[in-house]
A = this chain, B = another copy of it.
Amino acid sequence: DGAGAGASPLAGFQLQRVLGDSAREKIIFLHGKVNDESGSERDAVVILEKTPFLAENITDVLHGDPAPQLQMSNDVYSTYSLRPPSQLNEIKTTLIFPATEKHIKKYLRQEVFLIQETGEDYRNITLPFIESQSFSLQWVYNILEKKAELDRIVYENPSPTDGFVLLPDFKWDQKQVDNLYLIAICHIRTVKSLRDLSSEHLPLLTNILNEGQDAIRKRYAISGSHLRVYLHYQPSYYHLHVHFTALGYDAPGTSVERAHLLSDVIQNLQLDSQYYQKRTITYALRADDPLLQKFRDAGKC
């Protein structure tokens, strides 16, 4: 069994499968087996991550042996394959051994699927699904009724129809404004998402945009030209809320298949009050999302 000098469980790692990876971040998560000291086979997780470039090594990386191999050339652009000496190109390696089922699940990637939800799909599939889920909004109501998080409120417009509460998102540690993240939660309780909006909500939406930006400028000295203001569809809970994140912060959930800029939503409702009832909306669902199964059952994906 096991390769190597018996010193390192990593040397005996036998790959079973790739749990997940990120081509953008050059990281991969692996599940494998390693024999423990008694010779029993046990689960292990290995995480490999390429290391960032170091400015001081760049010249050695570029001009080492072997020379870069030209791959493609067009006008002023050319690409090469470069194979620098291995000591300049390390891989950060983490071993979890023995690994539990929980470790393995943590790194197991779920496949995602793009849904094209028509207005009809919303009414026939998504809305009944949302209504069948009794996911509690009590924590939202606690905020709106000042029963919780009272000290966290940054701004409030108390109007029951056009008002909202602005407060830091749970994900923001509030240590620095680089990753600023606040949420505006509207007082009205009948708007589940983008799909329920019509032109009657324009006063509410413009209040959130204008007063939210003002409040953030006053409290955090961040101007509107440095804020990304958007809704999610699908949202993570079905009570209308708006996200405010620092523009320079590549926050999760800002990609085009989930985020809808509030300024675009306002313009679309000005153009057509029923825009979000009629529109086919594109979004991604994870393989284990029960809503995906509803779309499959309906033969829609």
**Chain A residues engaging chain B, CB cutoff 8 angstroms:** 3-5, 7-11, 13, 15, 18, 21-28, 30, 46, 48, 50-53, 55, 58-59, 61-63, 67-68, 70, 72, 74-87, 89-99, 103, 109, 111-116, 136, 138-139, 142-143, 148-149, 152, 170, 176, 178-179, 224-228, 230, 247-252, 254-257, 259-261, 263-264, 267, 271-272, 275, 279-280, 282, 284, 301
27 A–B contacts, CB within 8 A, in A order: A7-B70, A9-B78, A10-B80, A11-B67, A15-B58, A18-B58, A22-B52, A23-B52, A24-B250, A28-B58, A48-B53, A48-B61, A50-B50, A75-B142, A76-B96, A77-B170, A78-B94, A78-B97, A82-B90, A85-B86, A89-B91, A114-B225, A247-B284, A255-B259, A256-B261, A257-B261, A261-B282
Report how far A185 CA is from B160 CA in the complex, Å: 50
Inter-chain CA distance A85–B15, complex, in Å, is: 19
Given contacts A59-B15, A93-B81, A282-B263, contact A247 B251 (CB under 8 A): no
Contacts of A178 in B (CB 8 A): 21, 23
Q: How far is the CB of A30 from chain B (nearest CB, A)?
A: 6
Residue of B nearest to A284 (CB): B247
In the bound complex, what is the Cα–Cα distance between A21 and B55 (angstroms)? 9
A74-B24 contact given A68-B8, A80-B95, CB 8 Å threshold: no
CA distance A81 to B260 in the complex (A): 33
- Copies, count: 2
B50 near A179 with CB under 8 A, answer no
Q: Which B-chain residue is minimally distant from A53 (CB atoms)?
A: B28
12 new A-B pairs (CB below 8 Å) besides A74-B149, A254-B256?
Answer: A15-B58, A23-B178, A48-B53, A75-B142, A76-B97, A76-B103, A82-B90, A83-B90, A116-B263, A225-B301, A228-B255, A256-B261
Taken together as a complex, chains A and B put the C-alpha atoms of A265 and B109 apart, in Å, by 31
Q: Are B226 and A114 in contact (CB-based, < 8 A)?
A: yes
Instruction: Please measure, in the bound complex, the distance between the C-alpha atom of A15 and the C-alpha atom of B57, giving whole angstroms.
Output: 11
Q: Which residue of chain B is the closest to A147 with respect to CB atoms?
A: B74
In the assembly, what is the distance between CA of A139 and CA of B74, in Å? 7
Chain B residues within an 8 Å CB radius of A99: 76
State how many angstroms separate the Cβ of A282 from the closest Cβ of chain B: 5
CB distance from A256 to the nearest CB of B (A): 4
> Least Cβ distance of A172 to chain B in Å?
9
